[in-house]
Amino acid sequence: MALFPIRRFGDPVLRLPASPVLEIDDAVQRLVAEMVETMYGAPGVGLAAPQIGVSRSVIVFDAQDDRGARVLINPEVVETGGEYEYDEGCLSVPGYYWPITRPGFAHVRGLGLDGRETDYSGDGLLGRVLQHEIDHLHGILLIERLDKKTRKQALRSLRNDALGLEK
Ligand code: NI
């Protein structure tokens, strides 16, 4: 199965809210398989469908525990708690990491590939990756989670980088 090119910062598909999946059909099964392969190929710990140009509400992730790759369809954040800062990156903004403050704990709910309601909750990498990938489904990139000053600097670096200038 071919790896899909990952859409980069600046691609309009990353800004669109993703459409909910109404039926888990063969196309969705295939999309999930392609997303998992693309995530591992990157390599990364999470991927949202818009990152391969498909504006549908699907995320895959591997929280580097013993459970391997997991999928959530139409995921929503049910509850969050606490707060913690973590150097976060994104496959759509390669080579950059910024300290981003988010809730430490997240409980999310969506559907599994079998169509059953599935919940995940946790802190650490799991809580972080779930929140980051669900942000993608709302057209939100990690840059928008930065404070104003850091965001300005980040955007300047990204623009310079795009022009081939120094960061
Ligand atoms: Ni990302």
> What is the H or E stretch that residue 110 is in?
strand 105-111
pLDDT tens digit sequence for 91-133: 999 999 999 999 999 999 999 999 999 999 999 999 999 999 9
> What is the H or E stretch that residue 70 is in?
strand 70-81
- Told to judge if 133 belongs to the known catalytic residues of this protein, a careful annotator would answer yes
DSSP 3-state assignment of 104?
coil
Q: Where are the domains of the chain?
A: 12-162
Q: Write down the mean pLDDT value for the chain.
A: 94
The catalytic residue among 76, 85, 133, 144 is: 133
Could you tell me the pLDDT band of residue 166, with boundaries at 50, 70 and 90? Answer: low
Beta bridge partners of 99: 87
Length of the chain: 167
pLDDT of residue 105: 96
The 10 Å Cβ neighbour count of residue 96 is 16
In the predicted structure, residue 81 carries a pLDDT above the cut 60: yes
Classify residue 109 as exposed, middle or buried by CB count within 10 Å of its CB (0-12, 13-18, 19+).
middle
CA 44 to ligand 1 center in whole angstroms: 9
Fold (CATH) for 12-162: Peptide Deformylase (3.90.45)
Which residues have CB under 8 Å from 12's CB, separation 6+?
none
CA 52 to ligand 1 center in whole angstroms: 11
- pTM, whole model, 2 decimals? 0.94
Could you tell me the pLDDT band of residue 78, with boundaries at 50, 70 and 90? Answer: very high
CA 88 to ligand 1 center in whole angstroms: 9
Classify residue 83 as exposed, middle or buried by CB count within 10 Å of its CB (0-12, 13-18, 19+).
exposed
CA 115 to ligand 1 center in whole angstroms: 25
